Structure 1
Amino acid sequence: MSIVPEKRLKAAIGFIFVTAVLDIVAMGIIIPVLPQLIEDFVGSNARAGIINGVFVALWAGMQFVASPIIGSLSDQYGRRPVILLSCAGLAIDYVLMALAPDLWWLALGRIIAGVTSSSFTTIYAYMADVTPPEQRARAYGLIGAAFSGGFVLGPVIGGFLGEIGPRAPFWAAAVMSAIAFVYGAFILPESLAPEKRMKFSWRRANPVGAMVLLGRHPELTGLAGVTFLLHFAHHVFSAVFVLYAQYRYGWGPREVGMLLAMVGLLDMGMQGLIVGPVTKALGDRKTMLLGLAGGTLGIMAMGWAPSGWFFVAAMLPNALWGLAMPTLQSLMTRQVSESEQGQLQGATMSVASIAGVMSPLFFGWIYSMSVGGGFEPLTDWLDRHGLAFVDSIVHAPGLAFYISGLVLLFAGVLGWITARRAERAESLTVDAPPTP
């Protein structure tokens, strides 16, 4: 399965875990301050919502382009060099953003970050290399827990550093990424055996070509649709949460950082401790559906929450969302061969990146309109037709969260249908008589 010796396997998985933590800590550090830094440049909370959405879309757009390239490069040259180069690139990029004199330089930094953070595709491919199919949901849960652990530490550190100055978190992020590079240079072994590598091809490495893989497997197409909807819904947080929390509850960087740390703790527990036993008891499909149902309930409640305490309470059902992604990825990896895992992860990341381009722009616009009074033509039409009560929904600050919940609900329906078909197809393949 892997060229990693058994005695070094635990060290390899440990490195992937640590690298994921460090990478997400570095990203999480800047979350409490980046929207406020943008607001300092543009001078308006409503306008900052739009600009922050554009920045997230730039980041995701570069991931859409770069992820299949990086995934295919790792299929040919191995996972180790790709992961190390990405860590080094992130460190340099955070220095650039720390020094950014205006909005344009900050935008350039987000573009570069989108390329270098595409190494996540390789991290998931690495785990697919070293774990058997039946253990991948748990393995991806561990990676998800590492990401969540990073979000526990990152926003807390960023929130406190943000009290010092809006640039300080960027310098700390650069240090974290540099540590990940140095640590990996000494610890990380290669996971992909030479005989299992696939020659790089631009036909497969371009975003459209990479997603052809999804079209070759009917079940993957539907599961990729669930991936798109899940990421589309989730980007409501990256697009508007910090501004929403400030506008509605008066929370600053410290409060936002602490709340994001709580989200990370819940998600880490869910993906690191809960997903394994639940998947064993219910299977991948039912566990995924449980996660999507909890996420729908929680995010709807967040949009409604009349106070900060209600918002915090809504995080509890929302934490079940952490069950969805590792089980979804496990279902997808079972549909392709070992030599295609890097390409699959690149194609999956491209799908997520399309959502990452569209969703922040959409939710940023929805938030800006709902708090900035930009729905006047619609408001006038509703008043004229005796539907003024709808206006209170349209102008609700939580409107973006309501829409996100509806997207997750649809993802649950699609996931149930598609995953059921995938399981039936896998069962038929296993039960099929051998070819004479």
Structure 2
Amino acid sequence: MDAQPSPARRAALAFIFVTVLIDVLSFGLIIPVLPRLVKQLSGGDLEHAAYWVGLFSMVFAAVQFLSSPIQGALSDRFGRRPVILISCLGLGLDFVFMALAPSLAWLMVGRIISAIASASFTTANAYIADVTPPEQRGKAFGMIGAAFGLGFIIGPVIGGQLSDVSLRAPFWCAACLSLINFCYGAFVLPESLSPEKRAKRFDWSQTRPFASLSMIRRYPQITDLIVIVLLAASTHYVYQSTFVLYGDVRYGWGPKGVSYVLAVVGVLSVIVNALLVGRMIKRFGEQRAMTIGLACGVIGFAIYGAAAKPWMFWLGLPISALWAVSQPAAQALMTREVGPDAQGRLQGAIMSLVSLIGVVAPMTYAGTFGFFIGKSAPVHLPGAAFFLAAIVLSVAWMIAVRHARRHAAAAEPATA
């Protein structure tokens, strides 16, 4: 296979990058205003608003858990293009719906629809596996990670500015971006999965939420990798569930201080994903790049938890940023073990399990943080949640080391 991608493939990858970027940007736009809109619709009751915001997060993750396998199976049977385009269209119309929502109940309906439509990330990953040679998939998945980082840098900033106009303005902006993305894709995006490589039929039994577990059992060679991805995904929730409160309790950071840190995290994420992932995978191989990335994540979380001064926390940022190498490396390794007709179901199974973790992990880290800053704690330890994340990620690192050794042992006879 040619080392250099064809113009058609480059255009397709560019569209997938833009699709993910716009999806993340759209969600980033509403991050600063959604809690305020919830508070407004709940009559200004802060306690009531906090309950609804937490409920929104849990429902969003639960719906993604249900819908991701369905989208993956649909894309395996009917192709990636129609699923991606319908998701873009659905997301755009849903943001219009949310912009007009007159009550919390209607806003909840909008969040449910957006969770279904945002499952297009599943199909986007399958699309990349279709059009990218195995040796280049790690780099391509890294570009998707860069799109995530870039979207979460730009989106909240623009959303915060638009909130001065109206709390509904960011939703209208997100709707425009998603609908423009749909129109662009309708003319540009080619199909990546040829008819002869598609699944012969749509099997509803493979779309049940826990059918993802049966699919994993069908491919035991990727079990370690899926466990690594899930453990790593669970630790991501320590940021959104505790970081703002942690920065306030330990360092006295207000909203501006927190926003500066998040901006730097996003910039570092883009740099690592866009510039370093491909180089590190090429230099060390996917197995070693994965273990190196996980080790950096463990060290970064440990620094965050132990940082008594703000400058110590800042010191951990560039180290923790290298953790981003592990995810695309693991994704690339998994795609090598599954045929073209099952890539969508694989990505759907992974996304479904990640979403299931998203129902539980935020409360786990938030509860750990709350307990260790409370009066009943045996020791005052604000960084306890980050230490817990370091422990969880260290388990993922040990599994990665074991998997690398097994892979090396299996390769020796073949090489001989």
Counterpart for residue 156 of structure 1: 157
Task: State the Cα distance separating 1:327 from its structure 2 match.
Answer: 0.4
Give distance in 2, aligned partners of 1:164 and 1:244.
30
Kindly indicate whether the alpha-carbon contact (under 8 Å) linking 2:67 and 2:119 is maintained by their aligned counterparts in 1.
yes
Counterpart for residue 89 of structure 1: 90
**Letter in structure 1 aligned against 2:227:** G
Give distance in 2, aligned partners of 1:256 and 1:234.
17
Q: How does 1:21-420 map to 2 (within 5 A)?
A: 21-38=21-38, 41=42, 43-44=45-46, 52-198=53-199, 199-245=201-247, 249-252=252-255, 256-306=258-308, 308-369=310-371, 373=374, 379=376, 390-393=378-381, 396=382, 398-420=383-405
Task: State the Cα distance separating 1:250 from its structure 2 match.
Answer: 4.0
Kindly indicate whether the alpha-carbon contact (under 8 Å) linking 2:269 and 2:321 is maintained by their aligned counterparts in 1.
yes
Counterpart for residue 13 of structure 2: 13
Task: State the Cα distance separating 1:339 from its structure 2 match.
Answer: 1.3
What TM-score do you get using the length of structure 1 for normalisation?
0.85
Task: State the Cα distance separating 1:277 from its structure 2 match.
Answer: 1.3
The alignment yields a C-alpha RMSD, in angstroms, of 2.8
What secondary structure does 2:118 align onto? helix
What secondary structure does 1:391 align onto? coil
Kindly indicate whether the alpha-carbon contact (under 8 Å) linking 1:156 and 1:257 is maintained by their aligned counterparts in 2.
no
Give distance in 2, aligned partners of 1:19 and 1:265.
20
What secondary structure does 1:88 align onto? helix
Change in 2 beyond 3 A, CA 1:232/1:211: same
Kindly indicate whether the alpha-carbon contact (under 8 Å) linking 2:372 and 2:379 is maintained by their aligned counterparts in 1.
no
More divergent stretch after superposition (26-35 vs 265-274) = 26-35
Give distance in 1, aligned partners of 2:216 and 2:87.
25
Change in 2 beyond 3 A, CA 1:415/1:38: farther
**Letter in structure 2 aligned against 1:392:** H
Change in 2 beyond 3 A, CA 1:150/1:159: same
Task: State the Cα distance separating 1:164 from its structure 2 match.
Answer: 4.5
Change in 2 beyond 3 A, CA 1:101/1:299: farther
**Letter in structure 2 aligned against 1:413:** M
What secondary structure does 1:229 align onto? helix
More divergent stretch after superposition (259-268 vs 123-132) = 259-268
Give distance in 2, aligned partners of 1:345 and 1:54.
26
Per-residue CA shift, 1:284-331, capped at 9, x if unaligned?
A: 121111111212222333344445554333321110111111001111
More divergent stretch after superposition (17-26 vs 413-422) = 413-422
What TM-score do you get using the length of structure 2 for normalisation?
0.89
Give distance in 1, aligned partners of 2:182 and 2:345.
24
Per-residue CA shift, 1:151-194, capped at 9, x if unaligned?
A: 22112222333454543322222222122112111111111000
**Letter in structure 1 aligned against 2:379:** D
Change in 2 beyond 3 A, CA 1:330/1:59: same
Counterpart for residue 387 of structure 1: none
- Unaligned residue ranges in structure 2 (runs of 5+): none
Task: State the Cα distance separating 1:67 from its structure 2 match.
Answer: 0.7
Give distance in 2, aligned partners of 1:123 and 1:359.
25
Give distance in 1, aligned partners of 2:318 and 2:84.
34
Task: State the Cα distance separating 1:337 from its structure 2 match.
Answer: 1.2
More divergent stretch after superposition (106-115 vs 314-323) = 106-115
Per-residue CA shift, 1:218-264, capped at 9, x if unaligned?
A: 23122111111111100122333345445653432x65444333222
Per-residue CA shift, 1:345-365, capped at 9, x if unaligned?
A: 111111211211111232343
Change in 2 beyond 3 A, CA 1:208/1:428: farther
Change in 2 beyond 3 A, CA 1:231/1:36: farther
Task: State the Cα distance separating 1:125 from its structure 2 match.
Answer: 0.5
Per-residue CA shift, 1:111-146, capped at 9, x if unaligned?
A: 222211101010010010011111111111111112
Change in 2 beyond 3 A, CA 1:77/1:104: same
What secondary structure does 2:32 align onto? coil
Give distance in 1, aligned partners of 2:242 and 2:32.
12
Change in 2 beyond 3 A, CA 1:421/1:56: farther
**Letter in structure 2 aligned against 1:401:** F
Kindly indicate whether the alpha-carbon contact (under 8 Å) linking 1:54 and 1:360 is maintained by their aligned counterparts in 2.
no
What secondary structure does 2:210 align onto? helix
**Letter in structure 2 aligned against 1:147:** F
Give distance in 2, aligned partners of 1:35 and 1:276.
37
Change in 2 beyond 3 A, CA 1:48/1:300: farther
Kindly indicate whether the alpha-carbon contact (under 8 Å) linking 2:297 and 2:323 is maintained by their aligned counterparts in 1.
yes
**Letter in structure 2 aligned against 1:64:** F
